[in-house]
Protein backbone atom coordinates (compact mmCIF):
# COMPACT_ATOMS: atom_id res chain seq x y z
CA UNK A 1 0.00 0.00 0.00
CA UNK A 2 1.88 3.07 -1.27
CA UNK A 3 -0.36 5.75 0.17
CA UNK A 4 -1.18 7.15 3.58
CA UNK A 5 -4.31 6.99 5.72
CA UNK A 6 -4.83 10.70 5.05
CA UNK A 7 -4.82 10.03 1.31
CA UNK A 8 -7.41 7.28 1.75
CA UNK A 9 -9.64 9.53 3.87
CA UNK A 10 -9.35 12.32 1.32
CA UNK A 11 -10.35 9.92 -1.45
CA UNK A 12 -13.31 8.58 0.56
CA UNK A 13 -14.45 12.11 1.39
CA UNK A 14 -14.75 12.74 -2.35
CA UNK A 15 -17.13 9.77 -2.61
CA UNK A 16 -19.22 10.34 0.50
CA UNK A 17 -19.44 14.12 0.89
CA UNK A 18 -22.58 15.69 -0.58
CA UNK A 19 -25.05 18.42 0.44
CA UNK A 20 -27.21 17.25 3.34
CA UNK A 21 -28.96 19.71 5.66
CA UNK A 22 -29.06 17.07 8.42
CA UNK A 23 -25.24 17.11 8.76
CA UNK A 24 -23.67 19.80 10.97
CA UNK A 25 -20.15 18.31 10.94
CA UNK A 26 -19.25 15.52 8.53
CA UNK A 27 -16.11 13.63 7.51
CA UNK A 28 -12.83 15.15 8.65
CA UNK A 29 -13.27 15.86 12.36
CA UNK A 30 -13.05 13.69 15.49
CA UNK A 31 -16.74 12.83 15.23
CA UNK A 32 -19.75 13.67 13.12
CA UNK A 33 -22.52 15.99 14.31
CA UNK A 34 -26.02 15.54 12.91
CA UNK A 35 -29.47 16.87 13.67
CA UNK A 36 -32.06 14.31 14.78
CA UNK A 37 -35.78 14.14 15.34
CA UNK A 38 -38.06 11.54 16.97
CA UNK A 39 -36.55 8.41 18.53
CA UNK A 40 -33.12 7.32 17.32
CA UNK A 41 -32.58 3.78 15.99
CA UNK A 42 -29.03 2.40 15.86
CA UNK A 43 -27.72 -0.88 14.44
CA UNK A 44 -24.29 -2.30 13.56
CA UNK A 45 -23.34 -5.08 11.16
CA UNK A 46 -19.91 -6.54 10.39
CA UNK A 47 -18.49 -8.41 7.43
CA UNK A 48 -15.20 -10.33 7.64
CA UNK A 49 -13.24 -11.46 4.60
CA UNK A 50 -13.33 -15.22 4.22
CA UNK A 51 -16.45 -15.49 6.38
CA UNK A 52 -18.97 -13.09 4.86
CA UNK A 53 -17.36 -12.38 1.49
CA UNK A 54 -14.48 -13.39 -0.76
CA UNK A 55 -12.68 -10.99 -3.05
CA UNK A 56 -12.37 -13.65 -5.75
CA UNK A 57 -16.17 -14.02 -5.74
CA UNK A 58 -17.27 -10.40 -5.40
CA UNK A 59 -16.05 -7.02 -6.57
CA UNK A 60 -15.27 -4.26 -4.08
CA UNK A 61 -18.34 -2.43 -5.38
CA UNK A 62 -20.61 -5.40 -4.64
CA UNK A 63 -19.06 -5.97 -1.22
CA UNK A 64 -19.79 -2.36 -0.33
CA UNK A 65 -23.38 -2.64 -1.51
CA UNK A 66 -23.87 -5.94 0.34
CA UNK A 67 -22.80 -4.82 3.82
CA UNK A 68 -24.66 -1.52 3.44
CA UNK A 69 -27.88 -3.29 2.45
CA UNK A 70 -27.65 -5.45 5.57
CA UNK A 71 -27.59 -2.38 7.80
CA UNK A 72 -30.30 -0.47 5.99
CA UNK A 73 -32.61 -3.50 6.04
CA UNK A 74 -32.23 -3.75 9.83
CA UNK A 75 -33.33 -0.12 10.22
CA UNK A 76 -36.34 -0.59 7.95
CA UNK A 77 -37.24 -3.82 9.75
CA UNK A 78 -37.79 -1.75 12.90
CA UNK A 79 -40.35 0.36 11.04
CA UNK A 80 -37.78 3.15 11.01
CA UNK A 81 -36.22 5.47 8.43
CA UNK A 82 -32.42 5.42 8.04
CA UNK A 83 -30.51 8.72 7.94
CA UNK A 84 -26.76 8.21 8.37
CA UNK A 85 -24.00 5.60 8.23
CA UNK A 86 -20.66 5.38 10.02
CA UNK A 87 -18.18 3.04 8.34
CA UNK A 88 -15.18 1.30 9.91
CA UNK A 89 -12.80 -0.62 7.64
CA UNK A 90 -9.76 -2.79 8.39
CA UNK A 91 -7.42 -3.14 5.40
CA UNK A 92 -4.68 -5.73 4.97
CA UNK A 93 -2.36 -3.37 3.11
CA UNK A 94 -2.55 -5.23 -0.20
CA UNK A 95 -5.54 -3.26 -1.49
CA UNK A 96 -5.13 -0.67 -4.22
CA UNK A 97 -6.56 2.80 -3.84
CA UNK A 98 -8.90 1.98 -6.73
CA UNK A 99 -10.23 -1.10 -4.85
CA UNK A 100 -10.86 1.02 -1.75
CA UNK A 101 -12.58 3.67 -3.84
CA UNK A 102 -14.81 1.05 -5.50
CA UNK A 103 -15.76 -0.25 -2.05
CA UNK A 104 -16.73 3.27 -1.02
CA UNK A 105 -18.73 3.82 -4.21
CA UNK A 106 -20.65 0.60 -3.54
CA UNK A 107 -21.48 1.76 -0.02
CA UNK A 108 -22.48 5.20 -1.26
CA UNK A 109 -24.65 3.94 -4.12
CA UNK A 110 -26.64 1.65 -1.83
CA UNK A 111 -26.99 4.44 0.73
CA UNK A 112 -28.25 6.90 -1.89
CA UNK A 113 -31.18 4.59 -2.67
CA UNK A 114 -32.53 5.53 0.77
CA UNK A 115 -31.32 9.14 0.95
CA UNK A 116 -28.73 8.08 3.51
CA UNK A 117 -25.33 9.77 3.96
CA UNK A 118 -22.02 8.39 5.25
CA UNK A 119 -20.92 10.89 7.92
CA UNK A 120 -17.67 9.35 9.17
CA UNK A 121 -15.82 6.24 10.28
CA UNK A 122 -12.36 4.80 10.81
CA UNK A 123 -9.61 2.97 8.90
CA UNK A 124 -7.14 0.56 10.53
CA UNK A 125 -4.64 -2.11 9.50
CA UNK A 126 -5.73 -5.74 9.90
CA UNK A 127 -4.90 -9.28 8.85
CA UNK A 128 -7.79 -9.28 6.36
CA UNK A 129 -10.45 -6.90 5.18
CA UNK A 130 -13.19 -6.28 7.74
CA UNK A 131 -16.04 -3.82 7.32
CA UNK A 132 -18.24 -2.58 10.14
CA UNK A 133 -21.11 -0.22 9.43
CA UNK A 134 -23.31 1.51 11.98
CA UNK A 135 -26.63 2.77 10.67
CA UNK A 136 -28.57 5.52 12.45
CA UNK A 137 -32.25 6.22 11.83
CA UNK A 138 -35.44 7.56 13.38
CA UNK A 139 -38.75 6.05 14.30
CA UNK A 140 -42.06 6.93 15.91
CA UNK A 141 -43.26 3.55 17.17
CA UNK A 142 -40.76 0.75 16.52
CA UNK A 143 -41.93 -2.63 15.21
CA UNK A 144 -40.51 -5.34 17.46
CA UNK A 145 -40.06 -9.09 17.19
CA UNK A 146 -42.29 -9.46 20.22
CA UNK A 147 -45.42 -8.03 18.60
CA UNK A 148 -46.86 -11.10 16.85
CA UNK A 149 -50.27 -12.24 18.14
CA UNK A 150 -52.33 -15.36 17.58
CA UNK A 151 -54.44 -14.93 14.46
CA UNK A 152 -51.89 -12.80 12.61
CA UNK A 153 -51.13 -13.62 9.00
CA UNK A 154 -47.47 -14.03 7.99
CA UNK A 155 -46.05 -12.18 5.00
CA UNK A 156 -42.74 -11.97 3.15
CA UNK A 157 -41.78 -9.10 0.85
CA UNK A 158 -40.22 -11.55 -1.62
CA UNK A 159 -39.08 -15.16 -1.90
CA UNK A 160 -35.98 -15.99 0.17
CA UNK A 161 -33.38 -18.43 -1.11
CA UNK A 162 -31.77 -16.67 -4.06
CA UNK A 163 -28.69 -15.56 -2.13
CA UNK A 164 -28.23 -19.06 -0.71
CA UNK A 165 -28.50 -20.43 -4.24
CA UNK A 166 -25.74 -18.08 -5.35
CA UNK A 167 -23.51 -19.20 -2.49
CA UNK A 168 -24.21 -22.84 -3.40
CA UNK A 169 -23.17 -22.22 -7.00
CA UNK A 170 -19.94 -20.49 -5.99
CA UNK A 171 -19.06 -23.02 -3.28
CA UNK A 172 -19.76 -26.01 -5.49
CA UNK A 173 -17.89 -24.71 -8.53
CA UNK A 174 -20.92 -25.42 -10.73
CA UNK A 175 -20.36 -25.30 -14.50
CA UNK A 176 -22.97 -22.76 -15.57
CA UNK A 177 -22.37 -23.51 -19.25
CA UNK A 178 -23.74 -27.01 -18.70
CA UNK A 179 -27.13 -25.62 -17.66
CA UNK A 180 -29.97 -24.93 -20.06
CA UNK A 181 -30.78 -21.30 -20.87
CA UNK A 182 -33.59 -21.00 -18.31
CA UNK A 183 -31.51 -22.47 -15.48
CA UNK A 184 -28.50 -20.39 -16.53
CA UNK A 185 -30.56 -17.19 -16.29
CA UNK A 186 -31.73 -18.20 -12.81
CA UNK A 187 -28.15 -18.99 -11.85
CA UNK A 188 -27.02 -15.51 -12.89
CA UNK A 189 -29.80 -14.01 -10.82
CA UNK A 190 -28.77 -16.11 -7.81
CA UNK A 191 -25.12 -15.05 -8.15
CA UNK A 192 -26.09 -11.39 -8.39
CA UNK A 193 -28.34 -11.68 -5.34
CA UNK A 194 -25.57 -13.30 -3.31
CA UNK A 195 -22.98 -10.71 -4.28
CA UNK A 196 -25.23 -7.70 -3.66
CA UNK A 197 -28.82 -8.42 -2.57
CA UNK A 198 -31.60 -6.30 -4.01
CA UNK A 199 -33.58 -5.04 -1.02
CA UNK A 200 -37.16 -3.87 -1.59
CA UNK A 201 -36.69 -0.65 0.35
CA UNK A 202 -39.79 0.78 -1.29
CA UNK A 203 -41.92 -1.92 0.36
CA UNK A 204 -40.77 -1.13 3.90
CA UNK A 205 -42.98 1.95 4.52
CA UNK A 206 -46.05 -0.10 3.64
CA UNK A 207 -45.10 -2.73 6.23
CA UNK A 208 -45.29 -0.25 9.11
CA UNK A 209 -48.69 -1.56 10.17
CA UNK A 210 -47.07 -4.93 10.94
CA UNK A 211 -47.33 -6.26 14.49
CA UNK A 212 -43.88 -7.88 14.28
CA UNK A 213 -41.18 -7.65 11.63
CA UNK A 214 -37.54 -8.43 10.89
CA UNK A 215 -35.36 -8.91 7.84
CA UNK A 216 -34.26 -12.36 6.70
CA UNK A 217 -30.50 -12.30 7.13
CA UNK A 218 -29.99 -15.72 8.76
CA UNK A 219 -32.81 -17.67 7.08
CA UNK A 220 -36.59 -17.91 7.21
CA UNK A 221 -36.63 -20.63 9.88
CA UNK A 222 -34.15 -18.82 12.15
CA UNK A 223 -35.94 -15.49 11.85
CA UNK A 224 -39.32 -17.16 12.32
CA UNK A 225 -38.06 -18.85 15.49
CA UNK A 226 -36.83 -15.50 16.81
CA UNK A 227 -40.24 -13.89 16.32
CA UNK A 228 -41.99 -16.95 17.79
CA UNK A 229 -39.78 -16.93 20.89
CA UNK A 230 -40.02 -13.20 21.44
CA UNK A 231 -43.83 -13.19 21.00
CA UNK A 232 -44.51 -16.53 22.79
CA UNK A 233 -46.41 -17.86 19.76
CA UNK A 234 -46.08 -20.50 17.04
CA UNK A 235 -45.32 -19.47 13.44
CA UNK A 236 -46.80 -21.84 10.89
CA UNK A 237 -45.43 -21.38 7.38
CA UNK A 238 -47.33 -23.17 4.62
CA UNK A 239 -45.28 -24.89 1.90
CA UNK A 240 -48.10 -24.76 -0.64
CA UNK A 241 -48.48 -21.00 -0.14
CA UNK A 242 -44.74 -20.46 -0.53
CA UNK A 243 -44.78 -22.54 -3.72
CA UNK A 244 -47.31 -20.14 -5.22
CA UNK A 245 -44.78 -17.33 -5.22
CA UNK A 246 -44.03 -16.50 -8.88
CA UNK A 247 -40.27 -16.98 -8.33
CA UNK A 248 -40.55 -20.42 -6.76
CA UNK A 249 -40.64 -22.39 -10.02
CA UNK A 250 -37.44 -20.77 -11.30
CA UNK A 251 -35.63 -21.32 -8.02
CA UNK A 252 -36.88 -24.91 -7.77
CA UNK A 253 -35.82 -25.73 -11.33
CA UNK A 254 -32.37 -24.28 -10.65
CA UNK A 255 -32.05 -26.43 -7.52
CA UNK A 256 -33.03 -29.52 -9.49
CA UNK A 257 -30.54 -28.67 -12.25
CA UNK A 258 -27.62 -28.47 -9.79
CA UNK A 259 -28.84 -31.32 -7.56
CA UNK A 260 -29.65 -29.14 -4.57
CA UNK A 261 -32.67 -29.06 -2.23
CA UNK A 262 -34.72 -25.94 -2.90
CA UNK A 263 -36.24 -25.91 0.60
CA UNK A 264 -32.77 -25.67 2.14
CA UNK A 265 -32.34 -22.47 0.14
CA UNK A 266 -35.80 -21.09 0.91
CA UNK A 267 -36.02 -22.12 4.55
CA UNK A 268 -32.41 -22.02 5.75
CA UNK A 269 -30.63 -19.66 3.36
CA UNK A 270 -29.92 -16.13 4.52
CA UNK A 271 -28.55 -12.80 3.28
CA UNK A 272 -31.57 -11.97 1.12
CA UNK A 273 -32.68 -9.18 3.48
CA UNK A 274 -36.32 -9.78 2.66
CA UNK A 275 -38.84 -8.54 5.20
CA UNK A 276 -40.75 -11.11 7.28
CA UNK A 277 -43.79 -9.64 9.02
CA UNK A 278 -46.93 -10.62 10.88
CA UNK A 279 -50.19 -8.70 10.92
CA UNK A 280 -53.40 -8.34 8.94
CA UNK A 281 -53.68 -7.53 5.24
CA UNK A 282 -50.08 -6.43 4.86
CA UNK A 283 -48.42 -5.93 1.46
CA UNK A 284 -46.20 -8.73 0.29
CA UNK A 285 -46.84 -12.44 -0.09
CA UNK A 286 -48.95 -14.46 2.37
CA UNK A 287 -47.14 -17.61 3.57
CA UNK A 288 -48.80 -18.68 6.80
CA UNK A 289 -50.37 -17.75 10.13
CA UNK A 290 -49.54 -17.22 13.78
CA UNK A 291 -50.99 -19.80 16.18
CA UNK A 292 -50.88 -20.67 19.84
CA UNK A 293 -47.84 -22.63 20.92
CA UNK A 294 -44.15 -22.19 20.29
CA UNK A 295 -41.53 -22.65 17.59
CA UNK A 296 -41.80 -22.60 13.84
CA UNK A 297 -42.60 -25.13 11.12
CA UNK A 298 -43.10 -25.27 7.37
CA UNK A 299 -46.25 -27.35 7.05
CA UNK A 300 -46.31 -29.76 4.14
CA UNK A 301 -42.64 -30.75 4.23
CA UNK A 302 -41.39 -34.16 5.31
CA UNK A 303 -38.06 -32.69 6.42
CA UNK A 304 -37.65 -29.23 7.94
CA UNK A 305 -34.70 -27.12 6.74
CA UNK A 306 -32.04 -26.54 9.36
CA UNK A 307 -31.28 -22.90 10.11
CA UNK A 308 -28.04 -20.96 9.94
CA UNK A 309 -25.90 -20.73 13.07
CA UNK A 310 -23.23 -18.04 13.66
CA UNK A 311 -21.16 -20.27 15.92
121 neighbors 86 (Cβ within 8 angstroms) = yes
- Whether the per-residue pLDDT at 218 is higher than 70: the answer is yes
- Whether the per-residue pLDDT at 188 is higher than 90: the answer is yes
In the chain, domain spans: 5-139, 145-299
Nearest residue to 123 via CA among 20, 295, 246, 1: 1
For domain 145-299, the CATH class is alpha beta
Average pLDDT over residues 154-162: 96
pLDDT in tens, 75-113: 999 999 999 999 999 999 899 999 999 999 999 999 999
44 or 159: which carries more pLDDT confidence?
Answer: 159
For domain 5-139, the question of CATH label 3.30.1330.10 is answered with yes
Reported confidence tier of residue 26, pLDDT bands at 50, 70, 90: low
Percent of the chain with pLDDT over 70: 91
- Whether the per-residue pLDDT at 309 is higher than 60: the answer is no
244 or 20: which carries more pLDDT confidence?
Answer: 244
Reported confidence tier of residue 42, pLDDT bands at 50, 70, 90: confident
* Mean pLDDT of all residues belonging to the chain: 90
Total-model pTM:
0.88
Residue 124, Cβ neighbours under 10 Å: how many?
10
Amino acid sequence: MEFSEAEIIAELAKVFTRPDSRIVVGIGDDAAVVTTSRRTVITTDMAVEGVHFRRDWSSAFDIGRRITAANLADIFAMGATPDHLVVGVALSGSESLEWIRELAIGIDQEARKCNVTVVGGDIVRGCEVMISITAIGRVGTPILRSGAVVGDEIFISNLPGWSAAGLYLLSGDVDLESLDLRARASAQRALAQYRAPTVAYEDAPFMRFAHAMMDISDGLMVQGEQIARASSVHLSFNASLIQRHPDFVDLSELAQAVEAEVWDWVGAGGEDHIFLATGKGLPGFLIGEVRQGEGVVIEGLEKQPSGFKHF
